[in-house]
Amino acid sequence: MSPRILAATTGRILRQLRHDRRTVALLVVVPAVLLTLVYFMYVDQPTPPGQPTVFDRVALIMLGFFPFIIMFLVTSIAMLRERTTGTLERLLTTPLGKLDLLFGYGIAFGLAGAVQATLASAVAYWVFGLDTAGSIWLVVMIAAVNAVLAVALGLFCSAFARTEFQAVQFMPVVAIPQLLLCGLFVPRGEMAGWLQAVSDVLPLSYAVEALQEVGAHAEPTGTMWRDVGIVAGAAVLALVLAAATLRRRSG
Amino acid sequence: MDDGVVVRDLVVDRGRRRVLQSISCAVPRGQVTGLLGPSGSGKTTLMRAIVGVQTVNSGTVTVLGRPAGAPELRHRVGYLTQAPSVYADLTVRENARYFAALHGRSHAEADRAVTDVGLAEAATQLVGTLSGGQRSRASLACALVGEPELVILDEPTVGQDPVLRADLWARFHEMAAAGTTLLVSSHVMDEAARCDRLLLIRDGRLIADDTPDAVRATTGVDDLEEAFLRLIRASEAGQGHAGEETR
């Protein structure tokens, strides 16, 4: 890996994103619109005494999910394009290292995810009065780690798609089971044993637990840091797997 | 050693098809070598093997004294793929500057590479909005920006207007005069006369490896297209009726 090449690659990916104004607008606007929907869905729901409101509970988890889903899609399409337009093969004939490319994507779209999470959190806290015991910046940090995990999974999954049609279909495969089993709909402790076991190996379960820790505790807890570590570790593992899919030679 | 590239008994299968059938040839340093043949003859596969991105069945490819694909060759070899592989959502200049950065070259060198392929006026345009010929030249600028010692160009002049085509060939010869080794593929025979040396392949076999003048002398005709036709007929006759003399 070379810092110069990594920086050039990160800059190149961000420049591509910047030229696509409509994508940038969608990244910024869509989470705010969806949060608005969620707010008005739950605004009249009664809250049991001593518990967070339904909006607080759902919005907090959604803040972690937006960057995950969006960055997974953006990355898998971007990487598929590199493969289909021949730029990937060309890059691999230059002094660029595989990790320069993979970390370039991780940093560039991780940053984009962090910006998206910051704006979405600002709307959730200041427009809709989201209330958490812990700091907004912990929420943004967890969302950014989720974004990096999504980028790593997207880089890996794009190796198994030949077309963009196939690539987008990996989104429900990768994201929906994690959304269903993360504890948002049914608390993880109340699920059947085998579902809990599945939930235990899905990294987003830990991201959601970390967000719930921020919701319930004023100071960052040990559980939260452990969970963030697990999500980051899953991201590194996915990046290593993605590196294994990049072959300099092919038939 | 005087050869930039040495290929020995190279055999490549793609899927179940044998694309290169035991090719041996050499690309001399400091010259423009033309790789000619109809589409589907194996030109691109041979070029990919030289760049080191093609998995090969047997045989060896030596590039600048190293095995093809060796990591230290990555900043010494420039490769232009047949389909322009540049980022459509970046400008011409941004593309050139990115590939320049990969080779440790400056912004100024990137801008000069853009000017050299005649795209100075379009430098701030997104590649996606360019014509096919311009896009292919943008890709060429990215292949040349690192000033590689060996340049592999897969059909660089397709879709270019005649004036630009002449300019590009003049530039290739300037580079060769400065010591660069070039291998340029084409399926148009009228470009053969512009090369210092010719490799003609057909159906994965090497039919000729000579200078244009020598090819004309052997076949007894001045027109290279006609000369190639005779070489092809001769080689086919040789395969069909082993040992039989051909006229």
Q: What is the mean pLDDT of residues B81-92?
A: 94
Q: How confident is the model at residue B15 (pLDDT cuts 50, 70, 90)?
A: confident
**What is the 3-class SS of chain A, one letter each residue?**
CCHHHHHHHHHHHHHHHHHCHHHHHHHHHHHHHHHHHHHHHHCCCCCCCCCCCHHHHHHHHHHHHHHHHHHHHHHHHHHHHHHHCCHHHHHCCCCCCHHHHHHHHHHHHHHHHHHHHHHHHHHHHHHCCCCCCCCHHHHHHHHHHHHHHHHHHHHHHHHHCCCHHHHHHHHHHHHHHHHHHCCCCCCHHHCCHHHHHHHHHCHHHHHHHHHHHHHHCCCCCHHHHHHHHHHHHHHHHHHHHHHHHCCCCEC
- Report the predicted TM-score, pTM, of the whole model to 2 decimal places: 0.90
> Which structural domain range is residue A9 located in?
3-245
Mean of all residue pLDDT scores within chain B: 90
Helices B92-102 & B132-144 angle (0-180, nearest 10): 20
Q: How confident is the model at residue A247 (pLDDT cuts 50, 70, 90)?
A: confident
pLDDT 10s digits, B148-163: 999 999 999 887 888 8
The residue with tokens 């996606």 is: B128
Whether the per-residue pLDDT at B242 is higher than 60: the answer is no
Distance from CA of B16 to the nearest CA of A (A): 11
Contacts of A90 in chain B (CB under 8 A): 79, 81, 85, 142
pLDDT 10s digits, B161-218: 888 888 999 999 999 999 999 999 988 877 888 999 999 999 999 999 999 999 999 8
Q: Which helix (H) or strand (E) holds B234?
A: helix B224-240
Whether the per-residue pLDDT at B241 is higher than 70: the answer is no
Q: What is the mean pLDDT of residues A151-169?
A: 92
**Spatial distance between the Cα atoms of B107 and A11, rounded to a whole number of angstroms:** 14
Residue A83 lies in a domain: yes
**Spatial distance between the Cα atoms of A155 and B111, rounded to a whole number of angstroms:** 31
Q: How many domains does chain A have?
A: 1
pLDDT 10s digits, A88-136: 999 999 999 999 999 999 999 999 999 999 999 999 999 999 999 999 9
Of the ranges A20-29, A57-66, B36-45, B95-104, the best mean pLDDT one: B95-104
Which of A155, A146, A113, A150 shows the shortest CA–CA distance to A240?
A: A155
Q: How confident is the model at residue B246 (pLDDT cuts 50, 70, 90)?
A: very low
Distance from CA of A93 to the nearest CA of B (A): 6
Yes or no, beta carbons of B69 and A20 under 8 Å apart = no
Q: How confident is the model at residue A250 (pLDDT cuts 50, 70, 90)?
A: confident
Tokens at A7, concatenated: 């920086």
**Spatial distance between the Cα atoms of B111 and A178, rounded to a whole number of angstroms:** 47
**Spatial distance between the Cα atoms of A121 and A108, rounded to a whole number of angstroms:** 20
Residue A250 lies in a domain: no
What are the two backbone dihedrals, phi and then psi, of residue A115, each rounded to the nearest 5 degrees?
A: -65, -45
Interchain contact A2–B (C-beta under 8 A): no
**Spatial distance between the Cα atoms of B48 and B43, rounded to a whole number of angstroms:** 9
Q: How confident is the model at residue B240 (pLDDT cuts 50, 70, 90)?
A: low
Contacts of B74 in chain A (CB under 8 A): 93-95
Q: What is the mean pLDDT of residues B84-93?
A: 95
Distance from CA of A238 to the nearest CA of B (A): 25
pLDDT for res B247: 41
Comparing B237 with A6, the larger pLDDT belongs to A6
Q: What is the mean pLDDT of residues A178-184?
A: 89
pLDDT 10s digits, A214-232: 999 999 999 999 999 999 9
Residue A29 lies in a domain: yes
Count H helices and E strands in chain B, helices first. Answer: 7, 10
CB atoms within 10 A of CB B31: 18
Q: What is the mean pLDDT of residues B105-109?
A: 95
pLDDT for res A47: 81
Question: Closest residue of A to B82, CA-based?
Answer: A86
The residue with tokens 């044993």 is: A193
CATH class of the structural domain B3-76+152-240: alpha beta
Q: Residue A218 is which amino acid?
A: A
To test the contact with chain A by mutation, choose from B45, B53, B136 the residue with the greatest count of A C-beta atoms within 10 A, namely B53
pLDDT for res B245: 43
pLDDT 10s digits, A38-93: 999 988 888 888 788 889 989 999 999 989 999 999 999 999 999 999 999 999 99
Whether the per-residue pLDDT at B244 is higher than 50: the answer is no
Question: Closest residue of B to A79, CA-based?
Answer: B87
Q: β-strand B66-67 against B58-63: which pairing, if any?
A: antiparallel
